[in-house]
Amino acid sequence: MTSEVADSVEAAAAAPTGFLGRHGATIEYILIPGAALAGALVVFGIFVALFGKNPLDLYFYMYQGAFGTWFSWQNTLTRAAPLILTALCTALPAQLGMVIIGGEGALLIGALSATSMALAMPSAPPLAVQFAMAAAGMTGGGLWIMLSGGLRQYRGVNETISSLLLVYVALAILNHLVEGPMRDPASLNKPSTREIGAANMIGSIPGTEVHWGLVFGVIAAIACYVLIYHTTFGFAARVAGGNIRAAKIVGLSVGNLILTICFLAGSCAGLAGMVEVAAVQGRTNANLAAGYGFTGILVAFLARQNPLAVIPVAILIGGIGASGGLLQRRLGLPDASVLVLQGIIFVFVLASDALYGRIGFLKGKP
Amino acid sequence: MDFSSISRRRLLQGSAALTLGTALGTRGATAADTTIGFIYVGSRDDYGYNQAHAAGAAALKKMAGLKVVEEEKVPETDAVEKTMESMINLDGATLLFPTSFGYYNPHVQKIAGKYPKVHFEHCGGLWTDKDPKNAGSYFGYIDEAQYIAGIVAGHTTKSGKLGFVAAKPIPQVLRNINAFTLGAKLANPKTTTQVIFTGDWSMPVKEAEATNSLIDQGIDVLTCHVDGPKTMVENAARRGAFVCGYHVNQSPLAPKAYLTGAEWNWEALYPKFIKMLAAGQSIPNFYRGGLQEEIVKVSPYGPAVSDAARRHADEVKARFMATGLTIFKGPLVDNKGKTVIAAGTERGQKDPELEKMDYLVEGVLGAAA
């Protein structure tokens, strides 16, 4: 991965200034995060070397565990699927200058809504159930984040704090329903809802073992990108994100923008919850609170809130997760080492933000 | 790779009979060809549930012809499916121990169906005859050990008030609370157990708060059923209360305050499983037992345990070991005054009614739902 970046740098350097002038910004978007990633890997290698492990082994196992075999690729993509959707829950509101970190809550509410929908229509054909589940999951998750947006718009409550706290409210609601009214009496020691039924499961993408959540994620990411960068709505959102007073002066309805964007963001995370139920767990229980919503925040920030960039970053983080097991088994590293790596990458990427527009040879002539 | 390939002879060879190995001349050629994978939901040094399994894994590492791979902090999502498959595909594992209760349905069932030649041994006792035959589920009647810990606690308490920090009001936890309380009432019929549910398996902050709140109420002996008892044990010891441990022996954390505890004995069970396979038998799909079957054990008594308590506890333990003892027998009244087991009825450990336990017995202060 890093060598490809290096190649593109050489190619770029060899190209005429006119090329750099035209594509300097794009190259910057690839070069700077790439360099930050490479830097993070080097620092992580040093960290691992301090524990007496060979960093070259580390890089080899990371590659093998994440991308080395077809099985590893599928492992990586499976882990990436929910992250794309939960990352969009942070990346979309970011266009409006809002920092929403409550994707986990929307995921849980989405899962709960989707499960309730499936359980409410026991005799419907599977396709109808699946569509209804997706609609319910997206609506549930959307309304959940819209709550944060509404609190910010109408009550001046900081959306970062409210969305985070709503995660715990969502978890409490989920636990209450799963251990109370919605509990399957047969789930004795693992309180769960009833199962949605094997027929209603959405299964895997043909020829792979990666579930359909990946496709949903990619479609959602592309749709969000088009919405933000190629529609008047998206333009309005970016204007409001850039300068809210200017947006109001030109007559944009900022309140509507906030609520709509928050709804869309939440519905992405809600869809992730629906997929976890319909493709993985088959029911709702506490297992759903696996932290996808929180990892999604990391993905969104690493992607610099660009909906399209969320896809490769989610795959990268999925890959790190997939290789984590191999690092534990082959190198005897503790599980926390993967978190250390994620932390180092995060710091490097955030710090590298300062470099944009400052690399001399990429500036070109205006 | 298959289990039939580890002969009993090779196991003997590994432990002592080196001459036999030399005579056969096979040493090394097939060594370490059986890979066993252990998967933990938390960290394997949590002084609790996961560490108990890691101790079992460590016992297997000492056996010849086995290679053990471990992965910790694997959530109960498709991540555990991928971990199992990764162990099978990349490490060549032929026996897996996915140790967390929530791994079983749907994850172990799914992967066991997909890899019929790999054995799966799940901890939790969930296997039914509809499930894949290469999967199995084992569990221990740890309430027997809790019963004995309760006796010790009942003798030790001066206030007559015991405290229990519990995760969720599910049958397994309720059974431990009830067994502990019934044990304590053997020592002193007036003993009460105040229970606090934290709501989840690993909530260190709430566990610490619960511990403090129990001690503030005048409770002087505490125990728990959460994944990592460390928080409760350390906090209670710091406040001068006595503790009974759970999952593993926590006496290193509180040498003076530790009375005894209910421990898993996986380090005895797992080698037994391997020997069964090596002998060409299969592990029963549904495997359970208590003190007598050496699946659970009681921690050695701490210095604060009186002679009377030791004698009483040892006597009851001896009855468990000899013939098996029934903890839950009628007449048994719950803490709302309702008779839950009628006079004359004995509910032995294998009674399915106990699996559905939804009450707290008389003497427990707290609500099951």
Residue A211 domain-assigned (yes or no): yes
Is residue A250 predicted with pLDDT exceeding 50? yes
Please answer yes or no on whether B43 and A78 come within 8 Å at the CB atom.
no
Q: What percent of chain A lies above the pLDDT cut of 90?
A: 67
Interface residue B124 vs chain A (CB under 8 A): yes
Q: Which tops the pLDDT comparison, B66 or B5?
A: B66
Q: What's the CATH code of the domain at B241?
A: 3.40.50.2300
Q: How confident is the model at residue B31 (pLDDT cuts 50, 70, 90)?
A: very low
Terminal Cα distance for chain A, rounded: 31
Interface residue B227 vs chain A (CB under 8 A): no
Q: Which residues of A touch B87 (CB under 8 A)?
A: 329
Q: Which residues of B touch A190 (CB under 8 A)?
A: 101-102, 105, 170
Residue B271 domain-assigned (yes or no): no
Q: Using CB atoms within 10 Å of the CB of residue A167, give its burial: 0 to 12 exposed, 13 to 18 middle, 19+ buried.
A: buried
pLDDT, position A361 = 67
Please answer yes or no on whether B168 and A188 come within 8 Å at the CB atom.
no
Please answer yes or no on whether A188 and B356 come within 8 Å at the CB atom.
yes
Is residue B99 predicted with pLDDT exceeding 60? yes
pLDDT, position A364 = 52
Residue B247 domain-assigned (yes or no): yes
pLDDT, position A14 = 47
Tokens of B125: 């006792």
Please answer yes or no on whether A276 and B77 come within 8 Å at the CB atom.
yes
Structural domains counted in chain B: 2
Q: How far apart are the CA of A299 and the nearest CA of chain B, in angstroms?
A: 18
Interface residue B170 vs chain A (CB under 8 A): yes
Q: What's the CATH code of the domain at A287?
A: 1.10.3470
Is residue A13 predicted with pLDDT exceeding 60? no
Predicted model pTM: 0.86
Interface residue B276 vs chain A (CB under 8 A): no
Lowest mean pLDDT among A26-40, A195-209, B100-114: A26-40
Final residue of a domain: which of B89, B111, B140?
B140
ipTM score of complex: 0.84
pLDDT, position B134 = 93
Tokens of B164: 């229990």
Q: Using CB atoms within 10 Å of the CB of residue B156, give its burial: 0 to 12 exposed, 13 to 18 middle, 19+ buried.
A: buried
- CA B64 to the chain's CA centroid: 26
- Please state, rounded to an integer, the average pLDDT across all residues of chain B: 89
Q: Which residues of A touch B369 (CB under 8 A)?
A: 180
| CB contacts < 8 A (A, B) | 83
A111-154 tens-digit pLDDT: 999 999 999 998 999 999 999 999 999 999 999 999 999 999 99
A295-322 tens-digit pLDDT: 999 999 989 899 999 999 999 999 999 9
Residue of B nearest to A287 (CA): B76
- How confident is the model over B276-291, as a mean pLDDT? 90
Is residue B206 predicted with pLDDT exceeding 60? yes
pLDDT, position B281 = 87
Residue A12 domain-assigned (yes or no): no
B37-48 tens-digit pLDDT: 999 999 888 999
Range of the domain at B227: 143-263+296-315
Cβ-proximal residues to A305 (8 Å cutoff; 6+ apart), any chain: A90, A91, A94, A95
pLDDT, position B2 = 45
B108-151 tens-digit pLDDT: 999 999 999 999 999 987 888 888 999 998 999 999 999 999 99
Q: Using CB atoms within 10 Å of the CB of residue A152, give its burial: 0 to 12 exposed, 13 to 18 middle, 19+ buried.
A: buried
Final residue of a domain: which of B123, B140, B157?
B140
- Please state, rounded to an integer, the average pLDDT across all residues of chain A: 89
Interface residue A321 vs chain B (CB under 8 A): yes
CA distance B176 to B262: 10
Is residue B4 predicted with pLDDT exceeding 90? no
Cβ-proximal residues to A329 (8 Å cutoff; 6+ apart), any chain: B69, B70, B71, B87, B91
- How confident is the model over B258-267, as a mean pLDDT? 96
Same domain for B24 and B56? yes
CA distances in angstroms from B63 to A184, B52, B55, B280, listed in the order given = 42, 18, 13, 17
Is residue B27 predicted with pLDDT exceeding 50? no
Structural domains counted in chain A: 1
Same domain for B199 and B309? yes
B150-165 tens-digit pLDDT: 999 999 999 999 999 9
pLDDT, position B105 = 87
CA distance B201 to B198: 8
Is residue B208 predicted with pLDDT exceeding 50? yes
Same domain for B207 and B164? yes
- The shortest CB-CB distance from A78 to any of B71, B78, B356 is to B78
Same domain for B147 and B108? no
- How confident is the model over A224-248, as a mean pLDDT? 93
Interface residue B100 vs chain A (CB under 8 A): no
Q: Which residues of B touch A205 (CB under 8 A)?
A: none
- How confident is the model over A186-206, as a mean pLDDT? 91
Range of the domain at A99: 41-354
